[in-house]
Copies of this chain bind each other. A is one copy, B any other.
Amino acid sequence: ENILEAEPIVYRQITVPQHGGKEYCTEENIVVLSIPYHEPAKTLQSVSGLTGVTVLKEVESAGVCCRASVCLLTTFNGNSQLTPKNVHQRPTVALLCGPHVQGAQGISCGRHLANHEVHVILFLPNFVKMLESITNELTLFGKTDGKQVSSVKDLPDTPVDLVINCLDCHENAFLRDQQWYRAAVDWANQNRAPVLSIDPPMSAQEQAVDAKWSLSLGLPLPLAEGAGRLYLCDIGIPRQVFHEVGINYHSPFGCKFVIPLHST
């Protein structure tokens, strides 16, 4: 029989007013465009008029989704220790957070991981004044069995099971020059654990910590190679919020809350 091999159909159901320069594709051949700015998270706040509420909600749904993603990714590796009967062989996760919303998302993820019997060690540098979203998360994290340290010296000397990197934020690249940042980066690069970056910024420069996986939230930014394999998390941004910044959006998630993206 002669079978004409057709080109795979590609679905373009997301359009953006300003292209981020990279095009990604889901396993279902849906094209997901990158955007060149840290939207729509900020937009969700401004268009809803519920700034405090939406930061909290975004941080919480990011935390829930990232927790689930961590489980999914470490299961992919075939070495998941997260079975409910196995409370005496708990995996150890080192969670590196900076003093910004990305850090708050990380702490929320850490709380959800700790609730699932993961041994979480949170590194957060000491600052006199913290963002409210950080202090809220810290209060709740304090109710888990997770441990908090403010010095890299108190992080484990031996390899952990996973490093979660939430050191960067989208606005203040100058954080990278601070002593705590460089110490945490050095620690991560010396520990032999695989690294998951949550909501990493797009990088004119290199990623300071090479990641095995990166989770983008909502829509991807154009990420550099050092970001590793890219996954997209659904953090519950309504379609009209996308629409108000000119993005025509149909969910690429189907039933899932995290999907792998491939460069095209």
**Are A257 and B87 closer than 8 Å at their CB atoms?**
no
CB contacts (< 8 Å) of A60 on chain B: these are 56-57, 60-61, 64, 236
With both chains docked as a complex, state the minimum distance between the C-beta of A63 and any C-beta of chain B, in angstroms: 7
Q: In chain A between 193 and 250, which residues have their CB closer than 8 angstroms to a CB of chain B?
A: 234, 236-241, 250
CB contacts (< 8 Å) of A253 on chain B: these are 84, 116
1/0 per residue, CB under 8 A from B, across A70-103: the answer is 0110010000101111010000000000000000
With both chains docked as a complex, state the minimum distance between the C-beta of A10 and any C-beta of chain B, in angstroms: 11
CB contacts (< 8 Å) of A116 on chain B: these are 234, 251, 253-255
1/0 per residue, CB under 8 A from B, across A103-120: the answer is 000000001101111000
Bound-state Cα–Cα, A239 to B49, Å:
34
Chain A's interface size range is 35 or more
**Are A236 and B111 closer than 8 Å at their CB atoms?**
yes
**Are B87 and A239 closer than 8 Å at their CB atoms?**
no
**Are A117 and B251 closer than 8 Å at their CB atoms?**
yes
CB contacts (< 8 Å) of A83 on chain B: these are 28, 254-255
**Are A64 and B236 closer than 8 Å at their CB atoms?**
yes
1/0 per residue, CB under 8 A from B, across A24-40: the answer is 00101010000000000
1/0 per residue, CB under 8 A from B, across A52-74: the answer is 01101100110111001001100
With contacts A48-B140, A238-B115 known, is A255 near B26, CB below 8 A? no
Beyond A49-B139, A117-B250, 11 additional pairs, beta carbon < 8 A: A13-B87, A28-B85, A30-B85, A60-B236, A75-B255, A83-B255, A114-B238, A116-B234, A143-B240, A143-B241, A144-B240
A→B interface (CB under 8 Å):
11, 13, 26, 28, 30, 47-50, 53-54, 56-57, 60-61, 63-65, 68, 71-72, 75, 80, 82-85, 87, 111-112, 114-117, 136, 139-141, 143-145, 234, 236-241, 250-255, 257
* 4 nearest A-B residue pairs (beta carbon): A143-B238, A71-B255, A84-B254, A143-B240
